[in-house]
Amino acid sequence: MTRLAHNQKGVASLLVVIVALAVIVAVVFVIWSFMVDGDNDRVPVPQASNQEQTSVKEEEPAAEPAFVQQTFQQTKSPHFVSSQPTNNQLVNSLVEEVKLNFNFDVVEGSKISVTKDGQDVTTGPTTIAGDNLSMTVPVAADETGNYSVTYTACWPDRSCHDGSFGFSVKLDE
C-alpha cells in the first residue's frame, strides 16, 4: 500500500470519528434542552371535545395564619401604677385609646406610641389629664393582632423614663 492511500484511510477514519462525535453532541444537546427548558408544550395534550364539559376550579385564597397572642415583657417606668389595656391583656373589642396611670405628676414631653406589626396606630397626640396623674393617646386598634406600647414619662424636674408593654386584640370574624 502506498503512502498516499494510507494517509487517505487515516483521514477518512478521522472524519468518521468527527461525524460520530458531532452526532453524540447533538443528541446530548437535544436531551439537555428538554430537561432545562421544562416546557411541556412539546408533549401533546388531549383536547376536550365540544361535547365534554370542562370546569375550571377557582383557587381558594390562602387562609390567613391563625392568630397567636404574643407575650410582652413589661418595662415599668418609676411611678407607673396601671394601664388600660393591661400588659398581655387579650381584648375582644376595638381599642380606641391607651391610658397610663402614675402616682406622680407627669408633665409636657411625656408621650405614648402604639404600633402593630411595626406600623404606628396612634391617631392623635398624647394628652395629660388635668390632675397630671395619667396620660392617654387615641389609637386605631381595630384589627386582630398584637399591639406594642412604648412610652416616655417626664416629671416636673424634667427627667424622663421609658416604659413598654403590649396587648392583643382578637376580633370575631
pLDDT digits (tens, 9 = 90+) for 134-153: 999 999 999 999 999 999 99
Check pLDDT > 90 for residue 13. no
More confident call, 49 vs 64: 64
Phi and psi angles of residue 53, each rounded to the nearest 5 degrees, phi first: -95, 125
Domain parsing of the chain, residue ranges:
3-42, 80-169
The string of pLDDT tens digits covering residues 83-99 is 999 999 999 999 999 99
Check residue 55 and give its pLDDT: 55
Distance (Å, whole) CA 128 – CA 151: 13
The three three-digit cell numbers of residue 44, written as one number:
401533546
- CATH for 80-169? 2.60.40.1220
Check residue 66 and give its pLDDT: 85
> Measuring CA to CA, how many Å separate 144 from each of 39, 63, 75, 89, 117?
44, 15, 24, 13, 11
pTM: 0.63
